[in-house]
Amino acid sequence: MKRIYKWRGFILGLLALGLFITPAAPLQYGSTTTAAVLLISGILLRVFARRTIGEHTRGLVHAAPALVTTGTYSLMRHPLYVSNTLIGSGAILFHLGFELWALPFLAVLFSLEFALSKAEDRFLESTFQDEWKNWKARTWAFLPNPRNFRPTPQPRSFFQSLWADRSTWLWVFLLIFVLYGKKVFLGA
């Protein structure tokens, strides 16, 4: 887990570079709309997850001083990985549309996020044991279980959550800006 966790940004960067050097599909209403919905959904999910989780998974350090089981984490175990998948899928579909070229990129993205989530489960299980097993028994990994919602006692504000992920937003904005610029201005 430590190796894949440490290199996750580099792997995603290689995926983004591969996406950039792949020829873009023309702007298409269906794929562009789908991409926008995925991006917005991923961004909102990430902000709401950050309202709950706090600071204990930042940077290269993988630590969990407490098992977070409220807010977004009462609905699903891996909202940040799901948000990454939604945002990445949105960028892929925006650039490549519903073309076959999109499938390898989506497969790599889904595989990476799935591997990270499974490694995260192993880490949390070894750290929190029975508490994690009880949470896992009632909380689905990737889909929300609305019957399970428990509010967070003192969540961060929406804007504090946005600020906490400022480096993520910079990279997301840069990726979309570069892909859009390549598509529109270079006609690629």
| Tens of pLDDT, residues 135-153 | 999 999 999 999 999 998 8
Q: Identify the pLDDT of residue 161.
A: 86
Q: Identify the pLDDT of residue 69.
A: 94
Q: CA–CA distance from 14 to each of 105, 106, 108 (Å)? A: 11, 13, 11
The predicted model scores a pTM of: 0.87
Find the DSSP H helices in 22-156. Answer: 29-53, 72-75, 79-96, 102-128, 130-138
* 70 found inside a domain: yes
Find the DSSP H helices in 54-101. Answer: 72-75, 79-96
Closest CA to 139 of 85, 72, 84: 72
* 114 found inside a domain: yes
Q: Identify the pLDDT of residue 61.
A: 59
Closest CA to 175 of 4, 34, 43, 28: 43
* 49 found inside a domain: yes
Q: Identify the pLDDT of residue 62.
A: 62
How would residue 56 be classed by pLDDT, with cut points 50, 70 and 90?
low
* 6 found inside a domain: no
- Domain with 146, as residue range(s), is 28-56+65-184
* 2 found inside a domain: no
Q: Identify the pLDDT of residue 186.
A: 62
Q: What share of residues in the chain are helix, strand, coil (percent, to 5)?
A: 70, 0, 30
User: What's the structural domain count of the chain?
Assistant: 1
Contacts of 173 (CB under 8 A, 6+ apart): none
What length is written for the chain?
Answer: 188
Q: pLDDT digit string (tens) for 77-119? A: 999 999 999 999 999 998 899 989 899 999 999 999 999 999 8
Query: Is the per-residue pLDDT at 59 higher than 80?
Result: no
Q: Which two tokens stand for residue 87?
A: 């945002």
How would residue 3 be classed by pLDDT, with cut points 50, 70 and 90?
confident
* 45 found inside a domain: yes
* 33 found inside a domain: yes
* 15 found inside a domain: no
Q: Identify the pLDDT of residue 176.
A: 79
